[in-house]
Amino acid sequence: LVSAMNRVQLLGRVGQDPIMRQVEGKNPVTIFSLATNEMWRTGDSEVSQGGDISQKTTWHRISVFRPGLRDVTYQYVRKGSRIFVEGKIDYGEYTDKNNVRRQATTIIA
C-alpha cells in the first residue's frame, strides 16, 4: 500500500478581511489572502555579519469550507492578523472574465 500526503503549514499575516462567497448549488466558502515572509542574509558567508538582509513575500490564497471553521474565520479574522493555517494544497483551473483559462493554487484550510 502506497500512502501519500498533501499537507502545508503557514504562519503569516492576513492581507484583507475575509469574504464569504456563495456559489449556487454549493456550500459557502470563506476566502482570504495570507502573506508569508522569507528572510536571508546576502554576502560571502552565512556566518558573517556582513551583507544585506533580503526579504521575499509570498501571497497564498486560503479557502475555508468546513462550516464551523468557515464561520469563525469570517467573523474573527481581520486584515493584519498574524495567524497559523494548516491545510492542503489544491491546484485548480478557472476561466477569467476575459475568457482566458488560468491556473490557481489554493490552500484548503
Domains of the chain plus CATH, in order, are 8-38+53-108 (2.40.50.140)
Distance separating alpha carbons of residues 36 and 73, to the nearest angstrom: 18
Structure confidence at residue 42 (pLDDT) = 79
With a pLDDT cut of 90, the percent of the chain lying above it is 68
Span 35-74, pLDDT tens digits: 999 988 876 655 556 678 889 999 999 999 999 999 999 9
What pTM does this model have? 0.79
As a whole number of angstroms, the distance between CA 9 and CA 76 comes to 20
What does the mean pLDDT of the chain come to? Answer: 90
**pLDDT exceeds cutoff 70 at 18:** yes
Lookup: cell for 68 = 464551523
**Contacts from 72-78 at CB under 8 Å and sequence distance 24+?**
73/18, 73/30, 73/32, 73/109, 74/18, 74/19, 74/20, 74/30, 77/14, 77/17, 77/18, 77/32, 78/14, 78/17
